[in-house]
């Protein structure tokens, strides 16, 4: 199908905006970048065919202003809008407004976003599709009395989760009735402040669970999976290091898990790229659906590396009317891939932000190395947004080779002028348990508390090699 009659507006910034612009350009589609005052000299602004300044640096005055993005689309003659991740990517109201304006939203329908964006509703949807869910409340909990009654049936420890939450926010833990009484009120207040809704639900807390997610792709008629990603190395429920496939799933568990994910996407008549997230219990080998992200994920490159499928291009092609030509039998795992998020933060000082002037950057080269970034020499990192600077994606014929290549790639990477999380990744790659795949969602928090001196030493060594 020819896409030359279309023009794509990218409603995002940073590395994901660069990723989308390049995917569109490879399809022959002209692009429009929207940028805040702080991003006027950014790489997306340089790469796009057209640029529209949509407001001040603060996201709530620019990237979160749907009406300004729609105005930019109208002024430039854009026919479609890709939201990337974050910002308005999972806003059903924005997706609806795009369609009502006569434009194409690159993603699922507003109805699907609403259905799966509400965590309690998503849970019910998964249950109806026969997908296992973590034991918990049947829908939202509105009072403490109801919460305590539910806790008697589900058992402690419990997670109190915001129904409209995401990105690891809006979650509290309770180990008994007294903690539940305290944390329930706090969770409701936090949910209201962060998401505009105080609705919460309860879920059993699996103490040593893995976080495993399945990538799906659908065109509204058929849906397929592209296998799983291991995302258990997290800090404050924010992912730090991801890999594909998971190092612990047996072939039979992998098949069952991924089949469940594809079946749920099929039932939803899902359109675009999406991710179904699961908790996996190593001990019992059980998996439980927890939520769905109705957008492209930060860690999508590891899936692209092991399947050879360009997810962003397929998102665009499906949105513009091309049926999904891939079938499940076409998707195979090819080797192993890992992704390390390089952030402008100081791991040795509590991940304190490190914005400012980036003097120079030098990336590694070699087989199996991919860099997704928006950095360039003398780029000024603004303090207003997420601290992600780049993603270092390494692919190998097997997991051991991927780790070996990653260690070499980190040694070759040089970012001067700001402190980054590169030393953290260097230290993690040397850990025997991580090399062996022996970790869960709580592992990194414990490791950080026990290895502060090691991080300081790694940072000093890194500073010597890069300065």
Q: Give the closest residue to 46 by CA, choosing from 382, 357, 375.
A: 375
Q: Give the closest residue to 29 by CA, choosing from 80, 75, 63.
A: 80
Eight-class DSSP state of 298: T
Residue carrying the six token digits 């790694």: 458
Tokens of 164: 């409209």
Tell me the pairing of strands 388-396 and 356-358.
unpaired
Q: How many helices and strands in the chain, by DSSP H and E?
A: 16, 22
SS3 for 153-193 is HHCCCEEEEECCCCCCCCEEEECCHHHHHHHHHHHHHHHHH
Tokens of 446: 């414990």
Residue carrying the six token digits 């690159």: 106
Residue carrying the six token digits 């809008």: 81
Strand partners, 36: 55
Tokens of 315: 């998102």
Residue 324: how many other CB atoms lie within 10 Å: 17
The angle, 0 to 180 degrees and rounded to 10, between the axes of the packed helices 119-128 and 110-117 is 100
Classify residue 190 as left (phi > 0), alpha (psi -120 to 50) or beta.
alpha
In the residue annotation, 295 being an active-site residue is answered as yes
Torsion sign across C-alpha atoms 333, 336, 342, 345: positive
Helix (H, G, I), strand (E, B) or coil at 127: helix
Q: Give the closest residue to 291 by CA, choosing from 407, 423, 133.
A: 133
- The Cα–Cα gap between 195 and 90 comes to 12
Q: Give the closest residue to 33 by CA, choosing from 21, 16, 15.
A: 21
- The Cα–Cα gap between 155 and 367 comes to 50
Cβ(403)–Cβ(432) under 8 Å? no
Tokens of 171: 């979650």
Residue carrying the six token digits 């070499």: 408
Question: Which residue in 13, 172, 210, 295 is the catalytic one?
Answer: 295
Q: Give the closest residue to 338 by CA, choosing from 301, 313, 285, 308.
A: 301
Catalytic residues: 295
């Amino acid at each position: 199908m020819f896409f030359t009659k279309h023009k794509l507006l990218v409603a995002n910034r940073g590395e994901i905006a660069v990723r989308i612009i390049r995917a569109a350009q490879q399809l022959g589609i002209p692009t429009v970048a929207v940028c805040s005052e702080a991003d006027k000299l950014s790489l997306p602004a340089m790469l796009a065919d057209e640029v529209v300044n949509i407001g001040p640096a603060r996201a709530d005055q620019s990237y979160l202003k749907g009406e300004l993005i729609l105005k930019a689309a109208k002024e430039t003659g854009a026919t479609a809008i890709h939201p990337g991740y974050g910002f308005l990517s999972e806003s059903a109201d924005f997706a609806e407004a795009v369609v009502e304006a006569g434009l194409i939203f690159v993603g699922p329908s507003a109805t699907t976003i609403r259905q799966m964006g509400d965590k309690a509703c998503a849970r019910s949807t998964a249950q109806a599709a026969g997908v296992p869910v973590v034991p918990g409340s049947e829908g939202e909990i509105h009072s403490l009395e109801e919460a305590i009654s539910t806790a008697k049936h589900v058992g402690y420890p419990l997670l109190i989760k915001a129904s409209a939450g995401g990105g690891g926010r809006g979650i509290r833990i309770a180990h008994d009735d007294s903690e539940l009484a305290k944390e329930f009120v706090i969770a409701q207040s936090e949910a209201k402040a962060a998401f505009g809704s105080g609705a919460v639900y309860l879920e059993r807390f699996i103490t040593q669970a893995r976080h495993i997610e399945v990538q799906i792709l659908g065109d509204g008629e058929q849906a397929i999976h592209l296998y799983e990603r291991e995302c258990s190395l997290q800090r404050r429920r924010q992912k730090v290091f991801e890999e594909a496939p998971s190092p612990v799933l047996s072939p039979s568990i992998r098949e069952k898990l991924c089949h469940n994910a594809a079946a749920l996407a099929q039932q939803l008549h899902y359109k675009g790229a999406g991710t179904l997230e699961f908790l996996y219990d190593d001990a019992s080998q059980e998996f439980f659906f927890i939520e769905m992200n109705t957008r492209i994920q930060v860690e999508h490159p590891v899936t692209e590396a092991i399947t050879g499928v360009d997810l962003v291009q397929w998102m665009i092609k499906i949105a513009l009317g091309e049926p999904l030509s891939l079938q499940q039998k076409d998707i195979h795992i090819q080797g192993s891939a890992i992704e390390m998020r390089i952030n402008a933060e100081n791991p040795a000082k509590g991940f304190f932000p490190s914005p400012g002037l980036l003097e120079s950057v030098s990336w590694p080269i070699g087989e199996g190395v991919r860099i997704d970034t928006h950095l360039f020499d003398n780029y000024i990192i603004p303090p207003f947004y997420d601290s992600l600077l780049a993603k270092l994606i390494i692919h190998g014929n097997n997991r051991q080779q991927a780790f070996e290549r990653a260690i070499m790639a980190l040694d070759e990477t040089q970012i001067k002028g700001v402190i980054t999380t590169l030393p953290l990744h260097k230290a993690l790659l040397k850990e025997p348990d991580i090399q062996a795949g022996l970790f869960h969602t709580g592992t990194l928090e414990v490791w950080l508390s026990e290895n502060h001196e090691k991080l300081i030493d790694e940072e000093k060594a890194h500073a010597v090699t890069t300065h």
